[in-house]
Amino acid sequence: MERFTKNRLFVWLVYIILGLLAIYLMLLIKPLIVNVYVFVKAVFAPFIIAMIISYVLNPIVTMLHDRKVPRTIAVLLIYAVFCAVITVILVNLIPMFIEQVQEINRHVPELSMRAQNIVTDINNTSFLPESIRSGLNKSLLHMEKKLSESLFNFVNNIGSMLNAVFIAFIIPFLAFYILKDFDVFERTVITYVPKSHRKNTVRLLKDIDTALGSYIRGQFLVCIIVGVLAYFGYLLIGMPYALLLAGIVAITNVIPYLGPFFGAAPAILMASTVSIKMVILVAIINTLCQILEGNVISPQVVGRTLHMHPLSIIFALLVGGEIAGIVGMILAVPIFAACKVIIQHMFAYYVRRKII
């Protein structure tokens, strides 16, 4: 058995078989997973968000606690800094953001007319085949309709987001109590594990934390940096609604590989109503941002902590997107990485048992 476990081909074959089995099981229980996701999203969303926030901030609280600062005071200090930063952002950026959204909504007819003119110009271009012109025409009109509907619904529903506001209000309180008693929760969880398995469980949890910790915390910082770069790039080329479009770039950048395309699409669509030159400039800005993110920012901030092949990440994104849409794509890579660590530990435990 030991001879097989040292064979890399055998190990990869086991991973592939387990992966295919996981896909098959997910397809079988997809309706159940979707129903569970809808229930969890509706009921436990505040707790899940609070737990993620606590996980991100806990190293800072622990560092302050190691310097003889009580955990409660450490959490309050972090909250004070956070509230100060949020206040500055709200005072300076939110009014600008809302103004840009409302301005886009006011100019939708004008933007639609520009888009229609572009479609007309394309139709008058003789060197393009009729099938391509017809397909492009339908695609642009469909995107125009969807953009108009989305903006209209967003603006008209701003006043009816009481539930979201309530959730946003209680999340900081939940995160406060989780952070304050984070070490208590850790000890409590371990006590429910049989003594014979506690050592392996602690090692497993530490490996998961190592795999996910720096990735999750670093990814937030990377998204902010990329958003700032995109914002200044859009300002430099005179792109309208720079803050709004850069915010979309920052948010979608959390999705590996596919996120940059999602983030660039609204900006390119908006640039197409200005000029072809603006489309090219926007494409260049987004390309430069992603080159910097992939070769400079992410390696320095996040590093290659997950040790996952790009094909594995794309597979995880497809599964997550199929199950839970955009949220599933955001959570897919961390969950997949955690599952990988768990499978590795189970396989190692099985091998040790066989050897013994």
Query: What is residue 260's predicted lDDT score, i.e. its pLDDT?
Result: 82
Domain ranges in the chain are 56-192, 194-355
Arithmetic mean of pLDDT, 314-334: 76
Query: What is residue 141's predicted lDDT score, i.e. its pLDDT?
Result: 63
> Strand, helix or coil at 124?
coil
Reported as a single tens digit per residue, the pLDDT across 163-188 is: 667 777 788 888 888 888 887 887 88
Amino acid found at 313: I
How much is the pTM?
0.59
> E-assigned strands of 218-283?
none
Query: What is residue 230's predicted lDDT score, i.e. its pLDDT?
Result: 92
> Strand, helix or coil at 69?
coil
Quick count: other Cβ atoms within 10 Å of Cβ 306?
21
Is residue 7 pLDDT above 70, yes or no? no
Arithmetic mean of pLDDT, 200-214: 79
Amino acid found at 112: S
Is residue 356 pLDDT above 70, yes or no? no
Q: How far is CA 294 from CA 53, 185, 222, 334, in A?
A: 25, 36, 10, 18
Query: What is residue 146's predicted lDDT score, i.e. its pLDDT?
Result: 62
Is residue 302 pLDDT above 70, yes or no? no
| CA dist., res. 273 & res. 115, Å (int) | 5
Quick count: other Cβ atoms within 10 Å of Cβ 178?
20
Start-end of H helices in the chain: 2-5, 8-28, 30-43, 45-66, 71-92, 94-106, 108-123, 130-156, 162-180, 182-191, 195-237, 242-252, 259-271, 276-292, 298-301, 310-355
Helix (H), strand (E) at residue 27: helix 8-28
Arithmetic mean of pLDDT, 134-145: 63
- Assign 101 a pLDDT band (cuts: 50, 70, 90): low
Query: What is residue 284's predicted lDDT score, i.e. its pLDDT?
Result: 93
Which range scores top for mean pLDDT: 34-38, 109-113, 283-287? 283-287
Does residue 179 contact residue 61 with C-beta atoms inside 8 Å?
yes
Query: What is residue 304's predicted lDDT score, i.e. its pLDDT?
Result: 58
Reported as a single tens digit per residue, the pLDDT across 54-81 is: 877 888 888 888 888 888 888 888 888 8
Does residue 77 contact residue 64 with C-beta atoms inside 8 Å?
yes
Is residue 355 pLDDT above 80, yes or no? no
Q: What is the DSSP letter of 304?
A: S
